[in-house]
Amino acid sequence: MAKVGVSVLSADFSKVKEWLPQLEKAKPEMIQWDVMDNKYVPNSGVPIEEIKKLRPKTKLFFDVHLMVQQPEKYFNQLKGYGADSLTFHVETSNNPKKTIKEIRGLGLGAGIAVNNKISAKKISPFLSKVDLALVMTVEAGFGGQNFIEKNLSKVKLLREAIDKEGLNCEIQVDGGINAETGKKSVEAGADILIAGSYVIKSGDIPKRVQTLKNL
């Protein structure tokens, strides 16, 4: 069975009372928060204050995907807002090893991401130091995009490296995930599927989450 994270990038936060109970019922392994700065990607993502607002209302795991320049500037604030795990893009840090250490120092889970046009080899040296490796199967920054299947080659490369070294690092795939693309991702070696529009806009969140978990 696959683990499932639900991205709330496309969620309507004025209707949180409608979709949060469904998410609680669905029991995904995590909620993913897409935080953007309108610099690294041309979008502003989920307002960071929404994390703080939702934290007292649920015990679900909060995984924050930082699509920002200088991700370190956000760490303390996100820790205070209730984040459980922080994932940054490898090319946004001058010293990824140090950045990972900073996240660890806050007692949070650490992840490193590879965007559409970035080679998976860029994050290979850090797999032993993180909890998850995130492979983007769309161009980071917007929800509802089409799945880029060729990026599954990155998943396969990372899967081989992790298994060869016996590392405790999970592979997360994010972008254009549905039942069909989720199946292909799991077959390529993904542990965690991040789905946004497919789940949040479905009208039946528990059913969609379970569909992905069963892959």
Q: Give 175-184 pLDDT, tens digit per residue.
A: 999 999 999 9
Active site includes 163? no
Average pLDDT over residues 148-177: 98
Catalytic entry in 63, 174, 191, 204: 174
Grade residue 144 by pLDDT with cuts at 50, 70 and 90: confident
Torsion angle of C-alpha atoms 102, 105, 106, 111, degrees rounded to 10: 60
Grade residue 145 by pLDDT with cuts at 50, 70 and 90: confident
Please write the tens of the pLDDT for every residue from 189-204. 999 999 999 999 999 9
pTM, entire model: 0.97
In the chain, the percentage of residues whose pLDDT exceeds 90 is 94
Please write the tens of the pLDDT for every residue from 61-113. 999 999 999 999 999 999 999 999 999 999 999 999 999 999 999 999 999 99
Grade residue 41 by pLDDT with cuts at 50, 70 and 90: very high
Grade residue 122 by pLDDT with cuts at 50, 70 and 90: very high
Domains of the chain: residue spans and CATH? 3-213 (3.20.20.70)
Tokens coding 160 = 């081989």
Active site includes 191? no
- Is a pLDDT exceeding 90 seen at residue 142? no
Burial of 206: CB neighbours in 10 Å, binned 0-12, 13-18, 19+: middle
126 HSE (CA, 13 A, CB side): 28
* Chain centre distance of CA 173: 7
Catalytic entry in 12, 34, 63, 131: 34
